[in-house]
Each structure stands twice: as structure tokens, then as C-alpha cells.
Chains A and B, each alone.
Chain A
Amino acid sequence: GENVEQHPSTLSVQEGDSAVIKCTYSDSASNYFPWYKQELGKRPQLIIDIRSNVGEKKDQRIAVTLNKTAKHFSLHITETQPEDSAVYFCAATTNTGNQFYFGTGTSLTVIP
């Protein structure tokens, strides 16, 4: 099955700086890559996703890039704010499979 690895496991940045979280996957058939944000005590919530037919997608301060050849995708958060502090999970799935495969999470702390 698919194996998703996520790095780093913890990340601290100063407010206003950028944060980058990287994930690699093993199954070349994976074609949908969501990113979830989970605040303390809350449910995971989708913040951005990308399909394999595009290389980059942006939504205001967040962006995701995908390199299918290298089988990795990254989350970029610019101009970080304290409310960006949370755990972020990447995931991968195929349109023919049934499961989502999650990374182990990155705990992001934005220091005011």
C-alpha cells in the first residue's frame, strides 16, 4: 500500500516568516493530495488540496506544490500568524483506491 512520510515533525517560526512542510509518497498511482489543519482539541479540517494534473495551487497565504516525478508535495505558508499554530497533516489517495494515507503530522508554532 501507499506510504506517506512527512517532515519535519515540529517547526517553529517567527511571526511573518514562511513555513514549509514536506511530504513524500510511494504509490505513483496516487493523484489527490489534501492538507489538513488540526487545532488543539479540534477535528482535522481541509485547508488546501491538489490533484495530480496541476503542479501548484494557491489560496491566499497557503500554497501546495506537487512534483509527481519525485513523488513529493509541500505545503507553504507565507506571512505566518499566531493563529497558524496547529498540527498539519498531509495525505494521499488514488481515485480507484478507497483509503486515505496520512503523514504523521507537523506541529507548527508561530512565535509572536
Chain B
Amino acid sequence: NAGVTQTPKFRILKIGQSMTLQCTQDMNHNYMYWYRQDPGMGLKLIYYSVGAGITDKGEVPNGYNVSRSTTEDFPLRLELAAPSQTSVYFCASSPRRRELGYEQYFGPGTRLTVT
């Protein structure tokens, strides 16, 4: 299993540009999450999904959108990038089932800079 994969690893955007951060997992997990981590800070939840076709806002959703058309993929869309969105973005997945456990598996992260 590749686990959770994210692309790209690094990206520099100009203010006002848009982009999509890709996240894919091959563990057949229903739950997927997007977090952002600012330098020296903790993880803040942007959006999450409990299964294909279902998404919900987390703590800091403004400026972002998500979709979940398949179990495997959970892309994060940034529209009109702003310097405040400079951060490291982590995607994670979890089975969240008693027989499989509740552990979150994190992707390697995408380091985004908006200038």
C-alpha cells in the first residue's frame, strides 16, 4: 500500500491564483481530512469527509473547497490565493471503525507559499 499520497510537494502561488492540492489513499478508508499547519503551530482542520459524496467544514474552511467523488480521492481547492494561506497542508485518512481502529494516517504534506 502507498498509504496517503499528496501532490505537489511544494508550490509557489501568486496572490489571486487558484490551485488544487491532490490527496489519494489506497486503504479504502471512509474518513478523510484536510489540515493546515502554520509554522510552529498545531494542526487546524479545514474540511473533512465521512464518505464519497459527503463533505463538511472544519475549523478554518474559508477560502477553500473540497469534493469527494470517490473513496480514494479528496482534493482541496484554493480559489483566489492569499498570503494568509501560506502553510503546510496535510491530508489524512482513517477507517474510524471499531474492528479497524481509529488511527489517522497522514500524507507527506504540501508546502504552499503565496506571494
Contact = CB atoms under 8 A, between A and B. Distances in A.
A44 B43 CA distance: 10
Contacts of A89: 42-43
Contacts, number: 45
Contact of B45 (A95, A99, A105): A99
B48 interface: yes
A99 B108 CA distance: 20
Q: How large is the interface on A (under 10, 10 to 19, 20 to 34, 35 or more residues)?
A: 10 to 19
Contacts of B33: 99-100
A25 interface: no
B103 A102 contact: no
Contacts of A46: 103-104
Interface of B: 31, 33, 41-43, 45, 48, 50, 56, 58, 90, 94, 96, 98, 102-104, 106-109
Given A99-B48, A100-B104, 14 more contacts: A42-B108, A46-B104, A49-B103, A91-B104, A95-B102, A98-B48, A98-B50, A98-B96, A99-B45, A99-B58, A100-B33, A100-B45, A104-B41, A104-B42
